[in-house]
Amino acid sequence: MSDRRLVQVAVPVPLAEAFDYLPADDGPLPAPGSRVLVPFGRGERIGIVVDHPASTPLPAGKLKAIRRVLDTVPTIGAELLQTLRWAADYYHHPLGAVLSHALPGLLREGRALDEPPEPTWQLTALGKDQSPDRLVRKAHQQAKALVALQAGSLAVGELRERDITTATLERLAAKGWIEAGAPRTAPDARSLATTAPRLPELTADQRRVLEEIADDERAGSGFRSYLLHGVTGSGKTEVYLRLIAAALATERQTLLLVPEIGLTPQLVGRLRDRFGGELAILHSAVTERERFDAWRRAYRQQAKLIVGTRSAVFAPLPAAGLIIVDEEHDSSYKQQTGFRYSARDLAVVRAQRLNVPIVLGSATPSLETFHNAIAGRYRKVDLPQRIGAAGQPRLKIVDLNRHANRQGLSTPLVAAIDQHLTAGNQVLLFLNRRGFAPALFCPSCKDTEQCTRCDARMTVHARALEVRCHHCGAVRPLEWTCKQCGGERIAVGAGTQRIGEELAALFPAARIARLDRDSTSRKGALDAVLADVAAGNVQILVGTQMLTKGHDFPRVTLVGVLNADQGLFGTDPRSHERLAQTILQVAGRAGRADRPGEVVIQTHYPDHPLLTCLLTRDYAAFATLALAERREAHWPPFAHLAVWHAEAAKREPAFALLERVRNLAGGEDTNGGVTVLGPAAQTMERKDGRYRAQLLFRSAQRAALHRLVDRVLLAIRGSSEAKRVRWSVDIDPLEI
Ligand code: ADP
Ligand code: ZN
């Protein structure tokens, strides 16, 4: 029907796009981006207005009216709404789910935008007279709070960030030393101007990079993508800070995206020092309340620097001036469940719509980004030199075929550790395997303890006296006696825990710390380890992938990569790229400041071309080589991928669904330029009791790929096969 005033509303329910409603009253229609309460099924839902359609396929009698409009001004601005609609389309995910994903929980639940912000605390006159020094011994927490508040008022969330509890604050309030302050709505006093004089003098390279970007800006370039390729420690972060300051100087907002584990106290401290109250932090560790307040400060332009992990790409930016994606190659930018988007890619789309520059920074750019730079779509700006006198670390290979090794520590590596410790420096060892040992093996009957729910071995966690499955979380007691033959079993191979024990035996005088998911699961444990390393209390740090993420350890001069072989022969087309990134990122922790660094890579394949290339040349050389291989093999960025996943308690239904997808897509042959590969079992077929299969669409033409995904989705949603399994489609998958 037509000639009606109609409102189209996206509601967060599975499989649906948007629904038509009548307006709540005769007034103006609620603008797109506004939240509305609508009747839905037997209940009601909060949805987002996405359109005012001219007509609806629904008959008049079926149309229901909106119950209530929650926003007078749209919560989702026009640009963000457009980007989200684009994202729903591109990632083939329901619009309602995408829109609701983009909002903080409290807004999703209908909380009013103009609700008063979180309270703040400030010192009273009496409080200002107190000397925290005198309190330190008796009331350490209170002293800490007083010191924090001496710089000005702080919101409750900011105090919590400093580990200051409500109880402490109440005690201080009872003494009359602190009082409730005005809610934070504008930048506080600790802003740019006060700290500006302490900025370091830029290096020639940093100045050149900033000039190049400023030149474009002066020429009125608006949107432009930059790849800032700078080796670790080359001063990329300082370049970000200057760009942020320049945007701030003209009252414009910057969105700074960082990897999940990159939001370290180090970085936050540096940003807070320089930009004070301009800062709003959005990431998964903040409370809903804090996220709501931070989001609103961005929405109202009270915060000019919005820093966050993946989902912060959906922050409101009404006065956008700049977007930065730090460590753009990091896999945490890709959401791996539900709405499987890439925050890095969406950031580029947003920058384009906002007509602002975007800087993608990394020492080891993704091959996609590197290719975009070579092809001239992104402007490449380089920082080829490290700051300080240390220079690039020297990379060295230890051939594990030629040298004895004890639980994965070769003789030359042990000698190097000894030498660096003797010189008073720190050592960092990387092994992407946590636990004590990756297998529990019986030498007499050759049985290895397997997980009953996964195609995987159980990992030995010796200290906990358990074996654990790292894929489904199953835990069993550690039993050294073999259940099959009664023989004595042994732990084979080494994880971080075993390496730690081995090192303790070899270097009894050294303090050794571990950095992995087991050792940092307790809240605050990660910060504690990092602080210990920074303070020089730890001599050897053994860790997993966590080590590679942007920490600045100035006294580390030796880095050991204990097992490079894990990545050399992976089945995934990206395994080489990932290995190269890991090696260079972890190597980048060696020899900062003025101490030269050394990197020892242990491998059974010392002549592997990837290792040779990294050793004798640099990341750019590796990337060029790897891109040639990708072109040859028709992998991204020379082809576009969509992968269909299906899993079920039995193998058959998972495969049946993918067979059906395959048939719908047109079977064996190429289909409008789309090749269909599979279905095949996933690398670990059974995980957590479910059989997993996948099917790949590949095409040199993005448009053809998306048309085909759309066509298949339309047919498959609601089909009987689809009801029997858990399935999804992943656009631009990271892992295949
Ligand atoms: P990246 O982000 O490339 O790893 P950073 O920006 O963190 O590098 O810089 C590495 C170190 O050098 C930091 O300790 C930083 O404070 C310092 N630094 C950066 N730029 C300069 C400069 N122009 N002069 C002196 N020190 C600098
Ligand atoms: Zn398992």
What are 362's strand-pairing partners? 229
Sorting pLDDT into bands at 50, 70 and 90, what band is 670? low
Statement: residue 13 has pLDDT above 80: yes
- Cα(645) to centroid of ligand 2, in Å? 19
For the chain, give the percent of residues with pLDDT over 90: 70
Mean pLDDT of 649-678: 86
What ligand has the least distance to the C-alpha of 534?
1
pLDDT tens-place string over residues 634-650? 999 999 999 999 999 99
203-383: CATH topology is Rossmann fold (3.40.50)
Pocket test for ligand 1, best of 195, 199, 210, 238 (most atoms within 8 A of CB): 238
Q: Which atom of ligand 1 is nearest to the CA of 270?
A: 16
Helix (H, G, I), strand (E, B) or coil at 590: coil
Residue 156: its pLDDT value, please? Answer: 79
Mean pLDDT of 97-112: 94
Report the nearest-CA residue for atom 9 of ligand 1.
Answer: 235
- Cα(736) to centroid of ligand 2, in Å? 20
Pick left, alpha or beta for residue 214 (phi over 0 → left; psi -120 to 50 → alpha; otherwise beta): alpha
- Cα(537) to centroid of ligand 1, in Å? 23
* CA proximity to 335, closest of 671, 625, 97, 577: 97
- Cα(526) to centroid of ligand 1, in Å? 23
* CA proximity to 389, closest of 595, 150, 95: 595
Statement: residue 668 has pLDDT above 60: no
Residue 61: its pLDDT value, please? Answer: 85
Task: Give pTM, 2 decimals.
Answer: 0.89
The reply to whether CATH 3.30.43.10 applies to domain 7-108 is: no
* CA proximity to 243, closest of 154, 181, 305: 305
pLDDT tens-place string over residues 305-353? 999 999 999 999 999 999 999 999 999 999 999 999 999 999 999 999 9
CATH topology agreement for domains 7-108 and 203-383: no
What are 38's strand-pairing partners? 45
Q: Which atom of ligand 1 is nearest to the CA of 383?
A: 3
The contacts of residue 708 (CB under 8 Å, 6+ apart) are 665, 671, 672, 674, 697, 699
Give the residue extent of every domain in the chain.
Answer: 7-108, 120-181, 203-383, 394-436+494-628, 640-731
> Domain 394-436+494-628 has what CATH class?
alpha beta
Residue 183: its pLDDT value, please? Answer: 67
- Cα(468) to centroid of ligand 2, in Å? 8
Helix (H, G, I), strand (E, B) or coil at 428: strand
- Cα(407) to centroid of ligand 2, in Å? 25
pLDDT tens-place string over residues 39-50? 998 999 999 999
d(CA 424, CA 429): 16
Q: Which atom of ligand 1 is nearest to the CA of 554?
A: 14
Residue pair 675/698 in contact (Cβ under 8 Å)? The answer is: yes
What are 691's strand-pairing partners? 648, 686
The reply to whether CATH 3.30.70.600 applies to domain 640-731 is: yes
Q: Which atom of ligand 1 is nearest to the CA of 202?
A: 23
Q: Which atom of ligand 1 is nearest to the CA of 232?
A: 4
Pocket of ligand 1 (CB under 6 A): 200-203, 206, 230, 232-238, 387, 552
- Cα(235) to centroid of ligand 1, in Å? 4
Least confident among 63-72, 383-392, 511-520: 383-392
Residue pair 314/101 in contact (Cβ under 8 Å)? The answer is: yes
Report the nearest-CA residue for atom 23 of ligand 1.
Answer: 202
* CA proximity to 419, closest of 391, 437, 396: 396
pLDDT tens-place string over residues 155-214? 877 788 778 888 899 899 999 999 888 766 544 444 444 445 578 999 999 999 999 999
* CA proximity to 175, closest of 120, 119, 125: 125
